[in-house]
Amino acid sequence: MNLKPPFHRIHLSNPEFDGNELRYIHEAFQAGQIATSGAFIPQFEQKLEEELGEGCIVALNSGTSAIHLALLLLGVEKGDEVICQTLTFAASANPIMYLGAKPIFVDSEKQTWNICPHLLEETILDRISKGKLPKAIISVNLFGMPCQMTEIMEIAQRYGIPVVEDAAESLGSKINGQHCGTMGDIGIFSFNGNKVITTGGGGAIHTLNLKWAKRARFLSTQSKDNFPHYEHSEIGYNYKMNNIAAGIGIAQLDSLDRWIKKRREIYHFYETELHQLPGISFLPEPEGFFSNRWLSTLLINSREAGFDTNEIRIFLDKHHIESRPVWKPMHLQPVYQQAMYFGGTIAENLFDQGICLPSSSHLSMQERERVLECFHLMYQRNYKKSY
Ligand SMILES: *Cc1c(COP(=O)(O)O)cnc(C)c1O
């Protein structure tokens, strides 16, 4: 196989447009509806509601604003404590800070890489013993893998704490047939450019509570009271999704199942081809769990493999292939130095050993082989070095 440049670069996760995206954009322009009012917005919300099976969707301009609104709906205020999975993208936690509340980060479990239910309960008990009942819990379904939502909801309900399910990466993932993003008190989605479906930039809130959905709409459109002039009795936000984005979203939803199937195929390709190599391990789905496999991830034990995640990342990059370390835990981020943390080194080890491989749904067989070839070359190189 010829790995010499020039070779097109393989990216981690790029969107695909193979449906009515351009047609709907065109229609939005023709109708003169390119801003935050227009027919595509309620249509997109309805289509997503149908996909998820129950509850109410409010379309927003990002997943981050969806988390911010979710915390506002739950009444999080300055000085409140909010529990958050430490192993995640910063956008899960930053809205806690927007509200002047305090994040409390909790370690992951090995089975799903997501928040550990036992540690979650220990954390809650510790905070209660200090007279501080956490105001909310943010759980995340990393790389598409659902967290242990049944256990998490049981614990949360025992102490009366609402759960925000950050399903930004897990649209279409399920536990026993129930969709991620519909199992918490509020679920949030992201339609950013690199997610399973994209609207350019966008997000959504999911809730079964119609009053919350109504209030999310109110807050996301500058909190306008019902008057002919602009009257405000509350601070509002400019968080609504625009009509062009919603049009793109409608087209993208048509392809969701097909793209998840492809992403899962890519994961299975990597797993089948790489799992027998020394030091490589994967993240299988627990019984009843269905992951959209947004990003294919694997762990590298550097002692057994003879190279670490950083070396393979640089090697892949030289061969024009993008890969990325797993999210750096929030409690290790400089900006969260002061934050409280409960747990050990599981998230830290996942960060050290985890790597995300190219996972775009349009990744061709040839491109998959290129990734594979780099792994084989890496092993060969190390084999030669040891002589
Ligand atoms: C992408 C992402 C977000 C934020 O979504 P945006 O639409 O980019 O604001 C939040 N949480 C997680 C886990 C994400 O991956």
Q: Which atom of ligand 1 lies closest to the CA of 202? A: 7
Residue 385 pLDDT: 62
If one counts every other C-beta atom within 10 angstroms of the C-beta of residue 284, the result is 12
Token digits for 297? 């991830």
pLDDT recorded at residue 382 = 78
- Can you give the pLDDT at residue 104? 98
Q: How far is CA 364 from the centre of its chain?
A: 24
* Residue 312: closest CA among 233, 219, 377: 377
Alpha helical stretches, state H, 53-104 = 63-73, 94-98
Q: Which atom of ligand 1 is nearest to the CA of 91?
A: 10
Q: Which element (helix H / strand E) includes 194?
A: none
Q: Is 336 helix (H, G, I), strand (E, B) or coil?
A: helix
Q: Do residues 333 and 376 lie in contact, with contact meaning Cβ atoms separated by under 8 Å?
A: no
Q: Is the Cβ atom of 198 under 6 angstroms away from ligand 1?
A: no
Ligand 1: centre distance to CA 234 (Å): 26
CA of 195 to the centre of ligand 1 (A): 9
Tell me the two tokens of residue 242.
Answer: 């625009």
What's the predicted TM-score (pTM) here? 0.96
Q: How far apart are CA 136 and CA 82, in angstroms?
A: 5
- Give the pLDDT of residue 112: 98
End-to-end Cα, the chain, rounded Å = 25
- The answer, yes or no, to whether any atom of ligand 1 lies below 6 A from the CB of 123, is no
Residue 180 near ligand 1, beta carbon < 6 Å: no
> 64: Cβ below 6 Å to ligand 1?
yes
Could you list the beta-strand ranges (E) of the chain.
56-60, 81-85, 102-106, 136-140, 163-166, 174-175, 178-179, 186-190, 203-207, 280-281, 289-290, 296-300, 324-325, 340-342, 354-357
In 3D, which of 63, 75, 255 has the Cα closest to residue 140? 63
Ligand 1 proximity of 168 Cβ (cutoff 6 Å): yes
Segments in the chain below pLDDT 50: 1-2
